[in-house]
Chains A and B, each alone.
Chain A
């Protein structure tokens, strides 16, 4: 397929339009909503990774919070113990390394299984991270967590600059860049021969084995890639939040990752991203308006699962198909 064919496709034009709009977002949104949007972007990167496992390989992990936490704590620990290295170009690779290690270990144990056993095992293992963070409070800060200060980036330091200012300035564009990069990489993966192999082993494990795909090994690859994307999301999130607590390694947060993905619709590539954005705003506004916000998002989830099984993006797609007919 030639370049010309790619750039004249309607989808590409939509992407271009969206990215242009996003570049001007800091001028449109209030700082509060912009920062909220940035939270959404970090979750979006995390669910991109998560959905490679769920949507494209058919494995449902209820433990991805552990990888998110791995990325976030990777950053926070460097902040605390190696302040000299506290710069973005070191922090991101380190966070990726930490999430690589953890997802490789967990993946090794999990990929022998599928379906419920896989889900429950991933969940249980992730709670080990949660427990260890608590137990080794003198390293990890326990339930108080760790403080994450504004990092230096590519030789620039931001001393004396307050976080909201940092977040609504350079960090927004950096985050957007990383998001677009992650999007392109992930899109590449799902459409590549590797992606086709994943689809094959999701559809028919036995036959996949018999066309020469080593099922467990490929599941492990995916598990690790997935964990690293989620870890990247966690690392980027920590700079926004400024504070990393064990909550992100708890399985309820893993559940929220699943929630975002299904809210948007896991059968469509962009679905989980939309889900992450909507969830972020929904949760915050629910928390702001009532003490019983869990009730609100719980009810929303139940209604969604009962009435809109293909998620929001899936619902739109169905609607569009119907109109086209």
Chain B
């Protein structure tokens, strides 16, 4: 697996009696794409929220690179390189597609305090933003409002924003939910090729097993707050236990 980018140890998060995340440990290697699967309510989004700093764990430890980020603020996590996308694409609606990415770049380069020169004067940042949009196949839409994009392009833009932050770890919360079935693979092709190119470690929450099989190196199966299985996509798909818990298919 090589260098371990993320190490989660014994994470716990209870909401009252609900054990949303119950003693979860896993690792993600450098440049590895890991899918997180499981039925609704299995605790997948809670787990992603714990890693992205949107929620704090009750107990456990999260190590990113060589720093302990268990209780780091969301801001701190972004600075060290943990980025995420959202289930319903989370965008800046009144800004153009270009500005959605450009603002993230300004932030990453520490230029958002610059208050006098027009944003357009920063030609290198504009070019980098266009390049990122190009990588994600939406550079022709840079002047549109995000509201005018297709559902698939919104998802792609959401990932592009996190990508622009030069994240070393991306957490993608259902990147294909709400996308028309015909477009799902196109969206994933775009996202995954960008991720592979930059060798970004990625954790994807995904329901569609075809996508999981096609795009991930490894799969984690979550059920009732615990990780119950882990392995290569084809191993997981062939495991009877897993299929029984996940889909209720058995003999």
Task: Answer yes or no: A and B touching, Cβ < 8 Å.
Answer: yes
- Docked pose: A193 CA to B90 CA in angstroms: 20
| CB-nearest residue of chain B to A191 | B118
* B120 within 8 A of partner (CB): yes
If over half of A's interface residues share one DSSP class (helix, strand or loop), that class is named, otherwise mixed; here it is: helix
* A30 within 8 A of partner (CB): no
Taking a contact as CB atoms under 8 Å apart, the answer to whether A211 and B161 are in contact is yes
* A317 within 8 A of partner (CB): no
Interface size on B, residues (CB 8 A): 35
* A195 within 8 A of partner (CB): yes
| CB-nearest residue of chain A to B111 | A193
Taking a contact as CB atoms under 8 Å apart, the answer to whether B114 and A192 are in contact is yes
A200-B95, A203-B93 are contacts. A209–B74 as well, Cβ < 8 Å? yes
Taking a contact as CB atoms under 8 Å apart, the answer to whether A199 and B118 are in contact is no
| CB-nearest residue of chain A to B90 | A207
How far in angstroms is the closest Cβ of chain B from A49? Answer: 14
Partner of B106, one of A191, A197, A202: A197
Partner of A196, one of B75, B93, B102: B102
* A214 within 8 A of partner (CB): yes
Kindly list chain A residues whose C-beta atoms are within 8 Å of the C-beta of B94. 199, 202-203
* B196 within 8 A of partner (CB): no
* A1 within 8 A of partner (CB): yes
Taking a contact as CB atoms under 8 Å apart, the answer to whether A211 and B107 are in contact is yes
Interface size on A, residues (CB 8 A): 26
Q: Give B82-130 interface residues, CB cut-off 8 Å to A.
A: 83-84, 86, 90-95, 99, 102-104, 106-108, 111-122
* A12 within 8 A of partner (CB): no
Taking a contact as CB atoms under 8 Å apart, the answer to whether B115 and A196 are in contact is no
| CB-nearest residue of chain B to A267 | B94
Kindly list chain A residues whose C-beta atoms are within 8 Å of the C-beta of B78. 210-212
How far in angstroms is the closest Cβ of chain B from A9? Answer: 13
Taking a contact as CB atoms under 8 Å apart, the answer to whether B106 and A196 are in contact is yes
Taking a contact as CB atoms under 8 Å apart, the answer to whether B122 and A193 are in contact is yes
Kindly list chain B residues whose C-beta atoms are within 8 Å of the C-beta of A323. none
* A194 within 8 A of partner (CB): yes
A199-B92, A204-B92 are contacts. A188–B118 as well, Cβ < 8 Å? yes
Taking a contact as CB atoms under 8 Å apart, the answer to whether B107 and A188 are in contact is no
- Docked pose: A191 CA to B74 CA in angstroms: 27
Kindly list chain B residues whose C-beta atoms are within 8 Å of the C-beta of A195. 115, 119
How far in angstroms is the closest Cβ of chain A from B220? Answer: 23
- Docked pose: A73 CA to B243 CA in angstroms: 75
How far in angstroms is the closest Cβ of chain B from A15? Answer: 15
Taking a contact as CB atoms under 8 Å apart, the answer to whether A1 and B117 are in contact is no
Partner of B113, one of A1, A194, A203, A206: A194
Kindly list chain A residues whose C-beta atoms are within 8 Å of the C-beta of B90. 204, 206-207, 210
Kindly list chain A residues whose C-beta atoms are within 8 Å of the C-beta of B106. 193, 196-197
- Docked pose: A192 CA to B112 CA in angstroms: 8
- Docked pose: A193 CA to B107 CA in angstroms: 9
How far in angstroms is the closest Cβ of chain B from A48? Answer: 14
Taking a contact as CB atoms under 8 Å apart, the answer to whether A1 and B118 are in contact is yes
Taking a contact as CB atoms under 8 Å apart, the answer to whether B92 and A203 are in contact is yes
* B221 within 8 A of partner (CB): no
* A23 within 8 A of partner (CB): no
10 more A-B contacts (CB under 8 A) besides A192-B117, A192-B119, A207-B91? A192-B114, A193-B106, A193-B111, A194-B114, A204-B90, A206-B90, A207-B161, A210-B52, A210-B78, A210-B84
19 contacting pairs across A/B (C-beta < 8 A)? A1-B120, A191-B120, A193-B106, A193-B113, A193-B115, A197-B106, A197-B112, A199-B95, A200-B92, A204-B91, A204-B92, A207-B161, A209-B74, A209-B75, A210-B83, A211-B108, A212-B75, A212-B104, A212-B107
